[in-house]
């Protein structure tokens, strides 16, 4: 499994913890920035990671900002991205099972490191259930076709 990861300055410290955690589990992870705590713009990083995921260069993306909100909103503007902001483990497995989410978003200022790492593990270990859920995802794609120019 290959993971693309990125954050703004607000998610920089948690990004480091997630990278360390994934490497300890022998999961390949590529860091698309930001590379310091200097202020930067979360849409820039969201776009890079989202592109890598829709191009299928990586199975999943992980995006982190202060709240997880701005970076997930940004990633969801890329057609084919289903970025899910998760603050609990139930949402982390449900969004894989039902929404086939391909990016996990986290908020460094919202969740502690321990919970964040549990959310990451839960998200990566859960499987999409297909069936009626695929029909709903197809409807999301139709919305993209209609409104994303």
Binding residues for D-ribulose 5-phosphate: 8-9, 66-70, 99, 109, 132, 136
User: Does residue 137 contact residue 102 with C-beta atoms inside 8 Å?
Assistant: no
Question: Least distance from C-beta 137 to ligand RB5, angstroms?
Answer: 25
Q: Which of 40, 65, 86, 93 is catalytic?
A: 65
Strand partners, 7: 64
Sign of CA dihedral 131, 103, 113, 28: positive
What is d(CA 57, CA 130) in angstroms, rounded to the nearest whole number? 22
Question: Least distance from C-beta 108 to ligand RB5, angstroms?
Answer: 8
User: Does residue 103 contact residue 61 with C-beta atoms inside 8 Å?
Assistant: yes
Question: Toward ligand RB5, which CB reaches closer, 8 or 52?
Answer: 8
Question: Least distance from C-beta 33 to ligand RB5, angstroms?
Answer: 14
Question: Toward ligand RB5, which CB reaches closer, 105 or 124?
Answer: 105
User: Does residue 41 contact residue 8 with C-beta atoms inside 8 Å?
Assistant: yes
Question: Toward ligand RB5, which CB reaches closer, 65 or 81?
Answer: 65
Question: Would residue 98 show up in a list of annotated catalytic residues for this protein?
Answer: yes
User: Does residue 7 contact residue 15 with C-beta atoms inside 8 Å?
Assistant: yes
Question: Least distance from C-beta 66 to ligand RB5, angstroms?
Answer: 3
> What would the two tokens of residue 127 be?
């499987």
Question: Toward ligand RB5, which CB reaches closer, 86 or 100?
Answer: 86
Q: Where along the sequence are the contacts to ligand RB5 (CB under 6 A)?
A: 8, 10, 42, 65-67, 69-70
What is d(CA 127, CA 37) in angstroms, rounded to the nearest whole number? 34
- Which residues are documented as binding site? 8-9, 66-70, 99, 109, 132, 136
Strand partners, 85: 105
Active-site positions read 65, 98
């Amino acid at each position: 499994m290959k993971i693309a990861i990125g954050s703004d300055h607000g998610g920089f410290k948690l990004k480091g913890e997630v990278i360390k955690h994934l490497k300890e589990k022998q999961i390949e992870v590529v860091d698309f920035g930001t590379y310091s705590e200097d202020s930067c713009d979360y849409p820039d990083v969201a776009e890079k990671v989202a592109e890598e995921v829709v191009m299928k260069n990586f199975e999943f993306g992980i995006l982190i900002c202060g709240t997880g909100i701005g970076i997930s909103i940004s990633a969801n503007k890329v057609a084919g991205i289903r970025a899910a902001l998760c603050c609990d483990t139930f949402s982390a497995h449900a969004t894989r099972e039902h929404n086939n989410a391909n990016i996990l978003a986290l908020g460094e200022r919202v969740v502690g490191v321990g919970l964040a790492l549990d959310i990451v593990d839960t998200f990566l270990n859960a499987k999409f259930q297909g069936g009626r859920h695929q029909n709903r995802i197809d409807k999301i794609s139709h919305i993209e076709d209609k409104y994303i120019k």
